[in-house]
Structure 1
Amino acid sequence: MPRTAARVSRRSARSPKQVRGKVDPVGEALRWLEEKGATQVKIAGVDLDGVLRGKYVSLDKFASAARGGLGFCDVVFGWDLADELYDNAQVTGWHTGYPDLQARVDLSTARMIPWEPATAAFLLDFVMPDGSDYGPSPRALLRRVGQRARAMGFLPQFGSEYEFFIFRETPVSVRAKGFQNLEPLDPGMFGYSWLRTSQSSDLVHALLDGCNAFGLEVEGFHTETGPGVYETAIRYDVLEPAGDKSVLFKSAVKEICARHGLTACFMSKPSARLPGCSGHVHQSLWTPDGARNAFHDPRAPDGMSTTLRHYLGGQLKLMPELTALYWPTINSYKRSVENTWAPTCATWGRENRTCALRVIGTDAKAMRVEFRLLGADMNPYVGMAASLAAGLWGIEHRVEPGDPVTGNAYRAEAAPLPRNLRDAITLLDRSTVARELLGEEFVDHYLRTRTWEVRQYERAVTTWELERYFELA
């Protein structure tokens, strides 16, 4: 993923320049909708799990919302992935009556949805009555950390790549089967297969064409090792649009697959017998004008600047205590197994895929960090914000990363990562740095939601327990 000067990516379905920087941006947005032939608009905000929560609105309703905002029930921050209400939240709950949050339309996120006739899409920001950020909002978190990077003189450029399973199933059939014995799109272990992508070319082209037309420029698409497993690399962008693209990509893939009678799964570890699904994020810092890669120093023997070394040092130092932000679910930790391409400890290396941090490239165009800790189940806003904040902290405190791992990082003597969500929560709860970097309100609400997640799991009776103890215990 080469890095070049900052630019606005090609977006055939988007027109952000048309709706940004005008005397009447709302008027420009409405004219853009008319030009595109839109008859309705889909608007959505993103919850703490990275799920789009939204609705369709009429053009008249959109015009009103674009000018004055709209109310949006704050229960989206008061329930979990399954719409089960938290019993430990402070920001909302029965004690507040679940009032409306104020939501503001981000006109720069204008898109037409290629697979939905005459439908435009915009993202929302959740704000306080005075217009300030709503503390628990993950999109606002990313924006705040991005502002901090710019205040330090850096322009962050990020790009994500996702691995995911595709099954010949529907939401109804996977439940009827109890999520067992699902039929993958294609059989066998066949990574980088020219054949498999050609055999499923109708779907592959629908995904590629749909994502590109949706403003999610795909740089690479291939099969991964595993039945029905695919990987997609999304072209890098400036931090905030990169976060938006990552969130929208997962939903786009699910929506397009559904139109082919298929189900896409971004679960971190769907099968104990197969490698998990990563959500690696490529990261680099540039000068504010996007002209120079701050990670590269031609005078250094290895091309790595002091800025890059300290960025790595901060990420490594804080990695264990921030893991709950990178691995947000119970299942996330099942991916972290030796010799399965996912890290188990805080390590870095040059072109070393067994490490948590992989430094790529030798020149100014390409030098970057691949943050390999993140899984496909991440909330992209949170994962990107936390990893960037850790790197910036390292630059501020001039944290050295130590020597790179040159061999098998699973055998390295390095700080181990927490093995489950409960342990990760404990480390995050003790972290004063996390609160300093991400804000007390965000970290407090996040901890409450992850504690709830652990409690739900501890009450569950799993298939493994039934198979092991049902008859013989």
Structure 2
Amino acid sequence: MTTRNERHLTLDALRTLIEDGEVDTVVLAFTDMQGRLQGKRLHGRYFLDHVVGHGTEGCNYLLGVDVDMNTVSGYAMTSWDQGYGDMEFVMDEQTVRLLPWLPATAMVQCDLEWPDHRPVTASPRAILKAQLDRLAAHGWTAYAGTELELVVYEDTYEEARRKNYRDLVPANDYNVDYSILGTTKLEPLLRDIRNHMYAAGLDVEGAKGECNFGQHEVGFLYAEALTTADNHVVYKNAAKEIAAQHGKSVTFMAKPNQREGSSCHIHLSLRGTDGELVFWDEEAGARTPLYDRFIAGVLATAADFTLFFAPNINSYKRFADGSFAPTTLGWGLDNRTCAVRLVGRGAGARMENRIPGADTNPYLALAAMIAGGLHGIENELELEPELTGNAYASDKPRVPSTMGAARELFHASAVTRAALGDEVVDHYANMADVELAAYNAAVTDWELVRGFERL
């Protein structure tokens, strides 16, 4: 069994580490609808004797709960009436890795299957793999990189909860975008994150400061799309755990306060199965017609798929004019006001989707981009002219501004249903319904301040 790189483990190598006493805990994890790692911690000996070759199970409610893990109604695949049965955790042996920030611990990421071995189609990893299979049928492979921003606070998670997430102390108290001095203050934490991530099999590029107080970005080298999504969720979970070890907290909310939001810009390109360029004509020194159709498809379907790019109520607070988060659906060459920014030439030619925030589920966002691009290719869509200047002031169609609007577009779209299937579309529309109902029932601080005395 080949590994993704020399820092990943084969199952045989993990067996040896367990038998030698160097690993005693194995985390089996899958990614849920909210983009979180869920699963079990197993004793190493039990993992070898009873799980390897046999698998393990978890309750199917794990793909049918809200962010607070409450069981909610409306899901076809899981309910009280169906008894909340099990799903099988199926290990992907290419994902075996050490978690060096935790003692003697390794992790294996999993796909989900029903007891009769049918895939759980609403699983985020299954949704992305289905779109990658569509690409493979054309002879293409997707490569992607996710640029994920976070905000660091001096408060621990426990302190933040006790303070009701108010008056938290950001790790920097001024804009440290690209500042070496400003990032030095947090270098003990950022260095730990970078080095632990490298040891866990991720290819780290570096870290830089961002605009919001305490906001930073740790960057990773692009990889095949499934690898990038797997690494993304490992990093997101690890950053929180490592921050907690430093007595701090981090958030990946898209808009944690009224300053700049946190993005997850996604870079994507296609290659042939032998690595040949698909998006660039070297002889002509220009984009290929296929690349243009792919971009046209992403733009044409962006509103329909926004629910996958912006999956939470808070996601939509980030879309504001002049914020470096897009509000209109256009494309431009190296233009950061556009929803789609084209960068690079030759082997580096790629599109950057600037719609997703840091709270996006990478499997779903990548699946949406691929499905949109294939829609453009298969229907031979023509790419509209480049948008030059300020996209915020353009007359281009708008990014959906609320989760309710995005939910309606997603649920009613013939494109999303053709690409993902009715089961997946209805499942994630219900996820939106659950969040919208919870939000609409909440009385916010804003309402109390505005109305308690003055209305």
- In structure 2, the partner of 1:468 is 450
Which of 327, 341, 350 aligns to 1:368? It is 350
1:438 aligns with 2:420: yes
77-86 or 445-454, larger mean C-alpha shift: 77-86
- In structure 2, the partner of 1:267 is 253
Is contact 2:24–2:45 with CA below 8 Å preserved after alignment?
no
SS of match in other structure, 1:365: helix
Q: d(CA) in 1 for partners of 2:126 and 2:419?
A: 13
Q: CA RMSD in A?
A: 1.6
Is contact 2:30–2:37 with CA below 8 Å preserved after alignment?
yes
Q: d(CA) in 2 for partners of 1:438 and 1:65?
A: 32
- In structure 2, the partner of 1:391 is 373
Which of 154, 179, 191 aligns to 1:193? It is 179
Q: How does 1:170-181 map to 2 (within 5 A)?
A: 170-181=156-167
Q: How does 1:57-456 map to 2 (within 5 A)?
A: 57-63=42-48, 64-272=50-258, 274-290=259-275, 292-300=276-284, 303-362=286-345, 364-456=346-438
SS of match in other structure, 2:396: coil
1:55 aligns with 2:37: no
SS of match in other structure, 2:262: coil
Amino acid at match of 1:321: D
Q: d(CA) in 2 for partners of 1:400 and 1:232?
A: 36
Q: d(CA) in 2 for partners of 1:349 and 1:261?
A: 42
Shift of 1:29: 4.7
275-284 or 90-99, larger mean C-alpha shift: 90-99
SS of match in other structure, 1:88: coil
Spell out, residue by residue over 1:281-333, the C-alpha distance to the aligned partner (whole angstroms, 9 max, x if none).
Answer: 1101001011x2211113446x1111110010000000111111111000000
- In structure 1, the partner of 2:30 is 45
Q: d(CA) in 2 for partners of 1:370 and 1:282?
A: 4
Moved over 3 A (4+): 7-11, 31-36
Shift of 1:382: 0.4
SS of match in other structure, 1:67: coil
SS of match in other structure, 1:395: helix
451-460 or 96-105, larger mean C-alpha shift: 96-105
Amino acid at match of 1:318: T
- In structure 2, the partner of 1:3 is none
Is contact 1:9–1:237 with CA below 8 Å preserved after alignment?
no
Spell out, residue by residue over 1:350-388, the C-alpha distance to the aligned partner (whole angstroms, 9 max, x if none).
Answer: 0000011110012x1211011111110001110111111
SS of match in other structure, 1:181: coil
5+ residue gaps, structure 2: none
Q: d(CA) in 1 for partners of 2:37 and 2:122?
A: 15
Shift of 1:403: 0.6
Higher relative contact order (CA 8 A, sep 6+): 1
Shift of 1:185: 0.8
Shift of 1:9: 5.8
Identity between Structure 1 and Structure 2 (%): 34
Give the direction of change, closer, same or farther, for the CA distance of 1:11–1:271 in structure 2 (3 Å limit): farther
Amino acid at match of 2:279: F
Spell out, residue by residue over 1:146-198, the C-alpha distance to the aligned partner (whole angstroms, 9 max, x if none).
Answer: 11111111111111111110001112211211111110111111200101222
Amino acid at match of 2:438: Q
SS of match in other structure, 1:160: strand
Spell out, residue by residue over 1:331-361, the C-alpha distance to the aligned partner (whole angstroms, 9 max, x if none).
Answer: 0000000000011121111000001111001
SS of match in other structure, 1:68: coil
Is contact 1:281–1:374 with CA below 8 Å preserved after alignment?
yes
Shift of 1:200: 2.2
Q: d(CA) in 2 for partners of 1:282 and 1:471?
A: 49
5+ residue gaps, structure 1: 1-6, 20-26
Shift of 1:401: 2.1
Amino acid at match of 1:154: W
Q: d(CA) in 1 for partners of 2:54 and 2:425?
A: 30
Amino acid at match of 2:35: G
Q: TM-score, normalised by structure 1?
A: 0.93
Is contact 1:284–1:293 with CA below 8 Å preserved after alignment?
no
Spell out, residue by residue over 1:213-266, the C-alpha distance to the aligned partner (whole angstroms, 9 max, x if none).
Answer: 111221131000121000122111111111101111111111111100010100
How many residue pairs end up in the alignment? 453
Q: d(CA) in 1 for partners of 2:137 and 2:297?
A: 18
Give the direction of change, closer, same or farther, for the CA distance of 1:248–1:463 in structure 2 (3 Å limit): same
Is contact 2:417–2:425 with CA below 8 Å preserved after alignment?
yes
Shift of 1:33: 4.3
Give the direction of change, closer, same or farther, for the CA distance of 1:32–1:293 in structure 2 (3 Å limit): farther
Is contact 2:86–2:115 with CA below 8 Å preserved after alignment?
no
Spell out, residue by residue over 1:24-64, the C-alpha distance to the aligned partner (whole angstroms, 9 max, x if none).
Answer: xxx56523544682111111111111111112101233232
1:459 aligns with 2:445: no
